[in-house]
Amino acid sequence: MTTPASPSPLSQDELKALVGQAALQYVVPGEIVGVGTGSTVNKFIDALGSMKDRIRGAVSSSVASTQRLQALGIPVFDANEVESLSVYIDGADEIDGRGYMVKGGGAALTREKIVAALAQRFVCIADESKLVEALGRFPLPVEVIPMAAQQIARRFAARGGQATLRLKDGQPLVTDNGQHILDVRGLSISDPLAFESEVNQWPGVVTVGVFAHQKAAVCLLGTAGGVRTIHY
């Protein structure tokens, strides 16, 4: 008697598609939806194309997401044209048990935070590898004004972190806002709210990639057993 083969585990890409599709339930028909940036969000944008005639459009957190939305025929509004959003849907590089996140691996953290601040609810979509006990394992992205980069790196060094300038093709990566990004390793962020408040006050910091003041209300986590919904 042969034993039936167990189904092969879903790939990370398939998990992202699963949560991208699941996020559609949080999109309010007739309204404008806040859309983040990154590979998981790309899956959500692709799924959103199936209901583009039932929404007014989107506010996007990056040039890349804007282009993807427009290619599907979804109107994109400037954040200045919108007073509020019912929901903002975005991924995370890390999310903890309280809904606090580290974001910015895709270099869009400042615009992500701006759009998240417009929204009544942040829905995080991620695969289960992003769920952590404490933030800091993923290198923390910090968008900085270039002339302050070394000064800010020294301040992180004093806290035990090692900050390196993010490069692209051998040159400093330039964000959609014309700034640079430091990636900081070696941190363990036990109090994300206080940490975000403090680092955002350092001269030259545009945005730190800790999302504690704009935390997730819901996380749709892609797991081997399907989508796990976590409320915070």
- Structure confidence at residue 7 as a pLDDT band (50, 70, 90): low
Q: Which pLDDT does position 4 carry in this prediction?
A: 54
164 marked as binding residue: no
Cα(115)–Cα(13) distance, rounded to whole angstroms? 25
Q: Which pLDDT does position 12 carry in this prediction?
A: 86
Cα(136)–Cα(144) distance, rounded to whole angstroms? 19
Q: Which pLDDT does position 10 carry in this prediction?
A: 82
pTM: 0.93
103 marked as binding residue: yes
**Mean pLDDT (the chain, rounded):** 95
Cα(188)–Cα(210) distance, rounded to whole angstroms? 12
Task: For residue 91, give the nearest of 108, 74, 77 by alpha carbon.
Answer: 108
- What are the structural domain ranges in the chain? 12-132+213-231, 140-207
Q: Which two tokens stand for residue 28?
A: 């309010």
225 marked as binding residue: no
3-state secondary structure of 126: strand
Q: Which pLDDT does position 3 carry in this prediction?
A: 55
Bridge partners (DSSP) listed for residue 32: 57
Task: For residue 187, give the nearest of 165, 211, 209, 161 by alpha carbon.
Answer: 161
Architecture in CATH of 12-132+213-231: 3-Layer(aba) Sandwich (3.40)
3-state secondary structure of 214: coil
Q: What is the pLDDT of residues 13-41, one digit of tens each?
A: 888 999 999 999 999 999 999 999 999 99
Q: What is the pLDDT of residues 91-126, one digit of tens each?
A: 999 999 999 999 999 999 999 999 999 999 999 999
2 marked as binding residue: no
160 marked as binding residue: no
Q: What is the pLDDT of residues 200-232, one digit of tens each?
A: 999 999 999 999 999 999 999 999 899 999 999
83 is catalytic: no
| CATH fold for the domain made of 140-207 | Alpha-Beta Plaits (3.30.70)
Catalytic residue chosen out of the listed positions 94, 112, 143, 196: 112
The pLDDT of residue 1 is above 80: no
